[in-house]
Every structure is written in structure tokens, then in C-alpha cells.
Amino acid sequence: MIISKEQLSDYKEKYEEVENLVEVDSKHDPQTEPFRSHYKAMDILVEMQHNLKNLLNDLPDDEVHESRRLLLYILGYLYKDSGRICLWTQELASGETYLLKCIELLEPYKMNPECVNAYLGALNQIGILWSNRNDAPKSREYLEQADKLYKDFKASSKVPFTIYDLFGSKDEIEQGKGVNTLEQTYTLTLYYLAQILGVLGDLHLSASLCHRTLQRQLEFNDYEHVDWALNAATLSQYFFQNDRNTESRHHLAAASYIMGKYESQMLQPEMSEDERSAVLEVFNHRSADINRCWAKYGLNLLAESKNRLMRDDDGDGLQIQKDIQKIALNEQCKFESLDIGAFEDVITDQYALMYDDAKPIFLAIQNWLNKAKEYYTLDSEASEYAKIVQDQASAYKCLAFYDFDDGNRCKLHKRQADLLESLLTMNPTYYLNICREVWFELGSTYSTMMDIKLEAFEKLKIQENPRPHVLNKINLLCQKSIKKFQEFIESYNDKDTNELKKNIPSDELQPILFAYFQVGRLYYKIITPDKKSQVANVTNCLKYYTMFMKTNDENKEIAEHFKQEYSVCREMVELLPLKIMKLRSEIERGT
């Protein structure tokens, strides 16, 4: 028996109906029946499988001709598509059954042009299935099989088919479609494998595969502009976190280039007003996200520049840097087809050594963040708006490091503080974590400003009598810093006992301990000739140093981080009671 042309044509029509249901109709399914079209498609696939099995049973067992092979190939495709739908509808057990059926059926023929696309697709889908089951090693195993199959098939120089090629005669094969399908499927293999490797902790290889995925999407013109740009910008974050600034900037520039290309063509005359609004909303949203990624790159550049200037370079550090540069050069993670030099020229990829290097980076950061704030506003996206303002404040903090003029440094920190203060209009009931971050950072900022002015005061005191307003500014900054740190600490207190809550995670206890230490230090720094005020300040100093030591002793797992501070506190806790007694004695004597 040979399968007729009419039967193949009927199968083709049914398969086209399945594709239309999955790719088109499913997008309009009601929320009450989110998988309605998928279930309809599944019913058709099951019916087709049943008919194909009957046809196969009608063939003599000893008959090995094109009809049997053809039916097997088509059946393999149907199993693969059934498995994919089951995964989509979260029926993982049924999905696994179908996908394993496809793999078992087509295993002897996987290198044949007629079914390589089905087999490769099934390996991808079962890789996704094991990822959904949180079994990354098993997922990796299947995806690496897919990677090997693609490479072996490409080396064979065979031309792959699509399922539609199986429904027609040799003369009806659509040239190039099978190749496009294979390349698109393999691009997905790399994408899925990159995600799994990230989960498994192989971030270097994961990033490399992410870049290859983006490169292939460009090469085969198989991408959505906004998604591609966002993925490139996200990947840039890995590169700058690993001292690969050139590649990081390159991916950000590519993201901006693709978004610009999309902007010029995204609005079409035939679009309705609602469609135009939806497109603009997505574009503005993702443009703001890419601007934030640019700003993160700039902030990292300034922060890491500061770290490098503050630490002594040792031999190991230099060797690590050479290894990183070698990796970057060998990989050449670049998009050679894109003309993006103008976007790269907006900001350097070199670390800053002095103020003149840091200032252009700072200005670029502020420009990107101001653009991001056009989309993320306090009224519409309060949490994201707060993060942007915090980044703006961080940029001022970074720039202040490079300015050696005390007056200018204080002005930059003042701008930092003003930005942070503006966020305290947010209600702590709803935005407690943000308020905590702001209180802590403001405490640190005012403390830094106080230290700058106190150092200048000590120098001035040697030369001449400082004016009272200088002293007042120092004390005011002290009090502001104390208040912000106290607000931060109190946010962790039990409302009934007004004492620190129990079982606070260690990563949150660390800043609390730091705040205790800082408040103690700040009370000691307040300058006043009044003895009674001095007693009160020293008593508060002793109180917070004691709280620091008590909390530290009760949480040994974080004590390792505060060895130096603990040593200072232990010494001060011994000396401060004597100082208090001395001050009180002087008050009694009226001296």
C-alpha cells in the first residue's frame, strides 16, 4: 500500500489548522479558557496520530518502502508537537510521554533530512521540561544532545526538510525553509542551554551562549527588536560585573542601535489608535529599562575605578586582569554587522583615574537616569522611581571621591542627600525596604559630610579661632546622621518592647550593627562646651557601643565582619564610664 496524494493533502490541511490554532487563535482565547485553542489543536493531532498508526498497521511487516518511512517521519513530528502543547498547558507528564515517543521513534533516522528538525525540536522541548521540574543537570543533558546533533548534521552537508515538505512531492519542497527551521531551532537550543548553564553556575559559558544566540538572531533576521535589545542590555550587566567593559558597552550600544531602528518603523499607517498606544507604551517602557542599564554600566565604571585606586594592585590581581583580557580577546563577543560606533562613543570603557575622567561618566549617568524618569514616575511606578533616584544619588557619591576640594565634595554629598531626602515622602508602611535603604544611606552621607567639615575644623583650629557657625554645621550634620541611623534601627524594633526583633536575618543584622557603631561614634563627635550636654552625649555613646557589643556577642556568625569595630567598642566601653564620672565631678565642682 502506498499513501495517496489526497491523504497527504488532507494531513497537510489538518496540520495547517493545528498551526493556526496554536500560533494565531490562541492569542485571542478568553481568560476563562486560556488553553481553548491548544486543546482543539491537541484533539486534531491525536486524531491524526490514530489515523497514521492505522495506515502503518495496514502495511505488511516486511515491506520497507518510502510510505512506511514517510508515515514514521510525520508521526514523529506529531508526537513532538503534542509534547510541546502539553508543556504549554502545564501537563508535564503527558508532554514527557509524547516527546520520548518522538525521540524513540526517530532515533534510527535522526540524521535524515526528513526528520532532523522534529528530533532536534523534541530534544529542546524535553530540555525545557526538565528545567520546569528544576532538574538543571537533566535539562543540560538533553540540550547538549541537541547541540551535538545540530553540529553533526551541519557537518554532513545535508539539506533538512520541514514537515510540509513531507506532505508534497519532491518538486514541491520549499527551498530554504528546512534550513531556516533548523537554524531557528538551534538558536533556541543555545538560548535554553545558556539559561541552564546560568542556573548551574557556569556564568562564563552561559554569557558566551547568550551572545551567540543574539548573534544568530541578527544573522538570520529572526528576532523581535525590543526583546533583542533588552536581552543585549541585560547581558551587558554580566560583562561589566566581570571587568569586561568594552564588551558591556558594545552590547548596550547594540541595544540602543536596534531600538533606534525599531523606532523608525514601529508605527504603521494602518494601526488603530489603541494599537499605536500599545506599541508606544512598550517602546517607552523598554527604552527606559535600557537607559537604566546604561546608567548601571556607568555607575559600575565609577565604583570599580574608585576600588582600584583605593587598593594596592598585587601580582594575583594583575594576573586575573590579564586572564580576563585574554578571555575577552579570544571570544570577541561583538556584533560585527552593526555600525554602533556613535553609541559607544557616548561613554568610555576605561576606568577613571581623576576628576576629569569621572565627570563625563557622571554626566552620562545623570542623562540616562533623567530619561528613565520620564517613564518611571513617583505616581505611576514608585518603587522603580525610587531605585532610579537612589542611582542618581550614588553617582554624586562616586563623583565626590574624585574631587579634592572639601567645599566641592560637601556640595556633591549635599546633592546626594537632597535626592535621598526627596524619597522620604514615601509611606514606610508600603515602602519599608526603600525607606530603610534611604535612612541608612542618609546616615552615612551626613556622617561623611560631618567628617569632611570636622577635618577642616581641626586644621582651622590650629591656625585661628573658628567661627561658631562652622561648629554649628558640624553638630547639625552629626544630629542629622544620628537621626537617620536611629530611624533605620527603630524600623527593626518590636513595637511592644521597643527592642530589636528576634531572628533578624544576618544580612540585615550587619547594617544594624554598623548603625549602632556609627551612632555611638557620632555622639562622641558632637562638640559642645556645656558639661551636661557632654554627659548626655557620652552616655548615649556608651549606650550604642554597648548595644553593638551585645548584639555582636549574640550573633557570632556575623562577628567576623566587625573585629576592628568590636575592639574599638570594648576599649571605649571601659573608658567612657570614667569619662562620665569625671564630667559629673566637674559639674558638681562648677569647673
pLDDT tens digits, 251-282: 999 999 999 999 999 999 999 999 999 999 99
- Look at residue 503 in the predicted model and tell me its pLDDT: 87
37 and 171 in a single domain? The answer is yes
Residues 31 and 63 reside in one and the same domain: yes
Supply the pLDDT for residue 319.
Answer: 45
Same domain for 14 and 93? yes
Residue entry with cell 482543539: 40
- Cell numbers placing 264: 523608525
Counting residues of the chain whose pLDDT is more than 70, the rounded percentage is 93
Residues 471 and 584 in one domain: no
> Same domain, yes or no, for 466 and 429?
yes
How many domains does the chain divide into?
3
Asked whether residue 251 is domain-assigned, the answer is: no
Q: In the listed set 160, 190, 223, which residue is the last one of a domain according to the structure?
A: 223
Which residues does residue 353 pair with via DSSP β-bridges, in sequence order? none
Same domain membership, residue 567 and residue 428? no
**264 inside domain:** no
- What is the per-residue pLDDT for 1? 52
pLDDT value of residue 330: 47
Residue 351 falls inside a structural domain: no
> How far apart, in Å, are the Cα atoms of 413 and each of 396, 398, 407?
7, 9, 10
Q: 559 Cβ partners below 8 Å, 6+ apart?
A: 552, 553, 566
Place of cell 546604561: 294
pTM of this structure: 0.88
Cell numbers for 1: 500500500
Are both 53 and 25 inside the same structural domain? yes
Same domain, 206 and 158: yes
> Domain with 122 in it: what CATH number?
1.25.40
Considering the chain, what is the average pLDDT of its residues? Answer: 92
Q: Is residue 167 part of a domain?
A: yes
Orientation angle between helical segments 177-199 and 136-156, nearest 10 degrees: 150
Is 398 inside any structural domain? no
Residues with Cβ within 8 Å of residue 229, at least 6 apart in sequence: 254, 255, 256, 258, 259, 262, 286, 290
Q: By three-state DSSP, how is residue 131 classified? A: helix
Q: Say whether both 546 and 481 belong to one domain.
A: no
Q: Are residues 474 and 519 in the same domain?
A: no
CB crowding 151-188: b at 16 or more within 10 Å, else e: eebeeeeeebbbbbbbbeeeeebeeeebeebbbbbbbb
Does 410 fall in a domain? Answer: no
How far is Cα of residue 136 from the mean position of the Cα atoms in its chain? Answer: 20
Whole domain around residue 104: which residue ranges? 1-223
Tell me, yes or no, whether 22 and 68 share the same domain: yes
Contact 547, 516 (CB under 8 A): yes
Residue 522: predicted pLDDT: 97
Of 491, 512, 527, the residue at which a domain comes to its end is 491
The number of beta carbons lying within 10 Å of the beta carbon of residue 17 is 14
pLDDT in tens, 21-40: 999 999 999 999 999 999 99
Q: What is the pLDDT of residue 315?
A: 45
- What is the C-alpha to C-alpha distance for residues 275 and 261, in angstroms, rounded to an integer? 19
Residue where a domain terminates, one of 191, 223, 255: 223
Residue 119 inside a domain? The answer is: yes
Q: Identify any residues that bridge with 493 across adjacent strands, giving them in sequence order.
A: 500
Q: Which helix (H) or strand (E) holds 101?
A: helix 92-106
What pLDDT is recorded for position 58? 79
Residue 500 φ/ψ, nearest 5 degrees: -60, 135
Q: Are residue 435 and residue 577 in the same domain, yes or no? A: no
Task: Give domain status of residue 366, yes or no.
Answer: no
Q: What is the pLDDT of residue 312?
A: 58
Which residues, given as ranges, of the chain have pLDDT below 70? Answer: 1-2, 60-65, 169-173, 312-332, 461-466, 591
